[in-house]
Amino acid sequence: MIELSLKQLSSQLAGRKISSVELTQLYLDRIQQLNPEINAYITLNHALALAQAKAADQRIANNEASPLTGIPFAQKDIFCAKGWRTTCGSKMLENFIAPYDAHVIGKFNQAGAINLGKTNMDEFAMGSSNETSYFGKVQNPWDRTRVPGGSSGGTAAAVAARLCAAATGTDTGGSIRQPAALCGISGLKPTYGVVSRYGMIAFASSLDQAGPMGRSAEDLALMMNVMAGFDERDSTSLQREAEDYTRSLAQPLQGLRIGLPKEFFGEGLGADVGKAVEEAINQYKKLGATVVEISLPNSKLSVPAYYVLAPAEASSNLSRFDGVRYGYRAAEYSDLADMYEKTRAQGFGAEVKRRIMIGTYVLSHGYYDAYYLKAQKIRRLIAQDFVEAYKHCDVIMGPTSPSTAFKLGEKGDDPVQMYLSDIYTIAVNLAGLPGMSIPCGFGANNMPVGLQIIGNYFDEARMLNVAHQYQLATDWHQRAPQGI
């Protein structure tokens, strides 16, 4: 049952081959067995999950079910969920119980989906390895000595280890796509504004975007049908007509133009990753696609631009965590200023403090024009590169990450090397474009490799079609870690 797709699970539930309660209990038992080592989940609530499952079974019995009714999902612990502990992977919110549902959580609830629990993540979504979480590092199910990627590492590990049917993630600079690649699953970062950020704890507001993570492109399409849509509570939510993201899945790829950026295939790319991506491109040629070389000349500036802009926004967003209204408060302090200082010093981890300090610096008087304003100009140039590229191609492809999953602790003392893990993904966020990662083979040490597919604005349906047709012709997305 744990190997079935969302569509197949929906059929099993509709045909009364299994009940939602039984399916939910199956996953809860697996979590109890495997999670102590993998550490994919931060918070579980069996009673709440089983109560939702019982309600879902009633909906199915009353013929009121939608495609995801009764299916157990996991939710990244960055989404507020009413009655659930919502920590964002931080000591600062260790005991925070959300009083309301995020838009994404509400949409899954309306669909009758089951919330199995909240998944582990880098603290406040800051990291590329899921090692900055206050609740401990997550282990990659393919090799427990390696990272699952971040910040949605808990989600990626849970999906790969079959500890949920599928799950949600968020992507600020690659945090859906990079862990999807490192854990051998599929993940989609939609166009900025397509999925509401309401109730999603903010890191960098102009970059953050929620998206689905699952085993296949078809699963992602079904989840997007639930997650996407206008939300008046989010000022950046885009008012567009609802669309069916499954509508183009069956279309053949004859005539598809694939752009290959020369900047993605040069120095820094692991030979094993490059080989797997090249073989995937060859498979697309067999499916009728043609390849054109393109250039994204300013993509090399994406990492430095990102690490000016994202920390600047984080510095502002995280100022709300001061020990006054909610979250952690220092036990001893002399006055209000002392309480602020001790609360934030004790409540935030090292990586969060580093980014707050960088962000405060680049926004300070005398440095705003030199750093922040210049980074915004570079951001515009990066976006213009993509506009020019799409005059010559329909989708852009390349590696998701320059290497397969690295060892736990390997890059902990070198933040710059850690930041470079997202070198192929960050430009997509800076431009606000949709991007996704799908499994395309294995590299060194038999670790998964991800193929990144980047689409034009609002082109998610085409991207999902491109990924789905590849997955019909290959079985990389069906592979499971040994022992799982």
Catalytic residues: 76, 151, 175
- The helix/strand/coil state of 70 is coil
Strand order in the sheet with 395-399: 41-44, 114-119, 72-76, 166-170, 210-214, 186-189, 435-442, 448-454, 395-399, 257-261, 290-294
Tokens coding 212:
């689905």
Cα–Cα distance, 297 to 317 (Å, whole number): 31
Closest CA to 209 of 223, 222, 184, 227: 227
Residue 222's nearest CA partner among 373, 69, 79 is: 69
Say how many C-beta atoms besides its own lie within 10 A of residue 145's C-beta.
Answer: 12
DSSP of 253-269: -TTPEEEEEGGGGSTT-
SS3 69: coil
Strands 395-399 and 448-454: antiparallel
Residue with tokens 């047709």: 469
**203, amino acid identity:** F
Joined tokens for residue 178 = 């990079």
Asked if 380 contacts 388 with a C-beta cutoff of 8 angstroms, the reply is no
Omega into 295 within 30° of 0, i.e. cis?
A: no
**Residue 213 in 3-state DSSP?**
strand
Q: Do the beta carbons of residue 72 and residue 23 sit within 8 Å? A: yes
User: Position 279: which residue type?
Assistant: E
CA 374/CA 74 separation, integer angstroms: 39
Which residues neighbour 269 within 8 Å (Cβ) at sequence distance 6 or greater?
399, 402
In sequence order, the 6+-apart residues with CB closer than 8 A to the CB of 468 are: 216, 217, 218, 221, 249, 250
